[in-house]
A = this chain, B = another copy of it.
Amino acid sequence: MFDKFHEECGVFGIFGHPEAANMTYLGLYALQHRGQEGCGISAADGSKIRTHVGLGLVADVFKDNAIFKRLPGNNAIGHVRYSTAGGNDIKNCQPIAVDYGRGSIAVAHNGNLVNAQEVRNQLEQSGSIFSTTADTEVIIHLLARAQSDSLPDRIAEALNTVRGAYSLVFLTETRLVAVRDPQGFRPLVLGKVDGAFVLASETCALDLIEAEFVREVEPGEMIVIDKEGLHTFRPFEKRPPAFCIFEFVYFARPDSTIFGRQVYAMRKAFGQQLAREHGVEADIVIPIPDSGVPAAIGYAEESGLSFQMGLIRNHYVGRTFIEPQQSIRHFGVKIKLNAIREVLEGKRVVVVDDSVVRGTTSRKIIKMIRNAGAKEIHMRVSSPPTSYPCFYGINTPTRNELISSTHTLDEICRYITADTLGYLSIEGMMKVVGITDGSSGPFCDACFTGKYPVKFPRLKSDDQLGLF
């Protein structure tokens, strides 16, 4: 409903816990913000893999205790997904579990392969069939065709064929494998609880199950966990890291620590830096809740302005919403947010949001604040303009739907009807994450800069990007 980039997935894995499926369920609960369309768990008991997937939230898909009885075993993986194409088909839910020449395997994937279509075409030409539209299915096929003797080698063989972003967990009858792509686009962390190893997209999943954080799975690392313990491999050619900086801006939960940095702290610091770059004479600072809160706190702190909750969010909003038929009003944003006149009336207001994608929601919110009596509205965005689509696991509109790509700052400011508009600069953002040499450091900032760290077949010109 909000005008945001959308995360596509979260993954979780656990090895050596008597209630592996139930612990995975808890882990997915904590990762629910990474995908709300569908979820699933595969559990292995040493000889067989069993899977349950469904459309909807973790709490709904796994609301029946009986499901856990059908998922016995000490090892499990899980997945939450955001459906890219509106097509909320149960077929696309993960983990994907299959039989192949070496037994059974299940996989859960966060990320996106840039050459998936190309590889899929080749696989189809040589006789493979595809039941889903997910690029993850490509990985499974490659794995099934790999000729190497050992599982780690086969996984490496398969993954060396694909390019792009992947944080993966695999489950076999007896092993749990985690792999992060050579550039480490998506986060993946390792933890431990009660002697069991845990893997998760973010540390907030470790926190919920009271697992101790051990370290991040490193870019290009493969971790294989079996009865003997944890084995680490480096099967890929080394490449410069490209951590998705947007995880700090919006995706990750503020209580997580990923890429060696604490998310809430980064967001607050973005807000502080934003205040330094785009200070303005005003009375109050308000966030667009919930995602804009940490940056607004930072902005207020740095600017010395008063932090207030001028917009209240309704958390009971459902998936569908039935508008009056004959109404000339649109309830889209109002159903989620309401402005408090007493806080805003007669005030010069700084509104802090984490990002602006199409600008449509910003326009409606600013109208709402204006109607509540604000005298001036200064829109501040705690990230640079998002001008380029992402090909590494984030669901973004095409280029010409991105308002920053097609309009100037002034035009955007007029469109959203703000008095002034300020975005955080790339340099300011990099400074916050500790990069001061003018480079992107270990980060991927392609959505802001268009500098894509992994090339892909279809990327020949900006025009094509727009059509993609």
Contacts and interface: CB of A to CB of B under 8 A. Distances in A.
Interface of A: 18-19, 22-23, 25-26, 29-30, 32-33, 36, 57-60, 62-63, 65, 68, 90, 96-101, 124-131, 140-141, 144-145, 204, 207-208, 210, 253-255, 257, 262, 264-265, 268, 290, 293-294, 297, 300-301, 306-309, 312, 314-327, 329, 331, 334-335, 338-343
B26 A312 contact: no
A301 B309 contact: no
A312 B254 CA distance: 7
B316 A59 contact: yes
B22 A342 contact: no
Nearest to A101: B124
Contacts of A65: 322
A111 B133 CA distance: 29
Contact of A204 (B58, B125, B317, B338): B338
A457 to B, nearest CB: 18
Contacts of A264: 309, 312, 340, 342-343
12 contacts: A32-B316, A36-B316, A58-B316, A59-B318, A63-B320, A97-B131, A98-B129, A98-B130, A100-B130, A124-B144, A254-B309, A255-B339
- A32, A101, A208: which has the most chain B beta carbons within 10 Å? A101
Nearest to A63: B320
Contact of A318 (B63, B90, B127, B306): B63
A144 B131 CA distance: 12
Contacts of A294: 309
Contacts of A124: 99-101, 144
A351 to B, nearest CB: 16
A442 B372 CA distance: 28
Contacts of A316: 29, 32-33, 36, 57-59
Nearest to A52: B89
A254 B329 CA distance: 24
Nearest to A301: B306
Given A32-B314, A309-B297, A140 B144 contact: no
A128 B99 CA distance: 9
B338 A255 contact: yes
Contact of A322 (B25, B60, B331, B338): B25
A341 B316 CA distance: 29
A168 to B, nearest CB: 16
Nearest to A123: B101
List the 7 closest A-B pairs by CB distance, nearest first: A59-B318, A127-B145, A101-B124, A32-B316, A262-B342, A255-B312, A98-B129
